[in-house]
Amino acid sequence: MNLMQTQMAPPASVHNALDTIAYAIGESAIGDILAARSDIGVCAILIGSDADTLEQDLANRFPGKVLVEDEATLRDDLAAIARFIETPGAGLDLRLDMRHGTPFQQRVWDVLRAIPCGATITYTAVARRLGQPNGARAVATACAANAIALGIPCHRVVRADGTLSGYRWGIERKRALLDKEAGR
């Protein structure tokens, strides 16, 4: 059963485009990936082990939105994401919709997007760049709220001692992404 069909009452054509998010699920080297797109750009890249969990995560992140499965619209985005996972040095050039965060989260995400592929940064260093030297926990919370995995590379943020800490999509995926970016 497609979970999203149970949440869509009238057809998408009845709704304002701003209320509609198209999504599709594909496969990658680190698990299933869900890409979702608003009228502005990619608003979610979620990583997981099964489609139902990914669809529920999307629904939880965008309450009140009409979610429409649309593989044709997202085919190129899914291909770009899978390519990035395999060859991160090539970059991930997707137009992003980052409206779904607080102003502080958006500032954190902007800093994360400036971290070069293959590099890491600490939560404290991000907080300092934002002028909040004691804000490492707030930075970690902003990373956890990130719905656009890889597009907003929160996997590049590490503890002060350089070790890996929590990653919404699993520490093993974080390690795999960082190893791939470092050419290991």
Residue 68 and residue 23 in contact, taking contact as beta carbons nearer than 8 Å: yes
CA 148 to chain centre: 2
d(CA 133, CA 7): 43
Structure tokens at 12: 């998408």
Task: List, by residue number, the catalytic residues.
Answer: 154
CA 109 to chain centre: 11
Q: What's the rounded Cα separation, in Å, for the pair 165 and 163? A: 6
Local structure of 45: helix, strand or coil: strand
At 159 the three-state DSSP class reads coil
Location of structure tokens 């750009």: 41
Instruction: Kindly give the interhelix angle for 103-113 and 136-145, rounded to the nearest 10 degrees.
Output: 90
Give the distance, in angstroms, between the CA of residue 68 and the centroid of all CA atoms in the same chain.
18
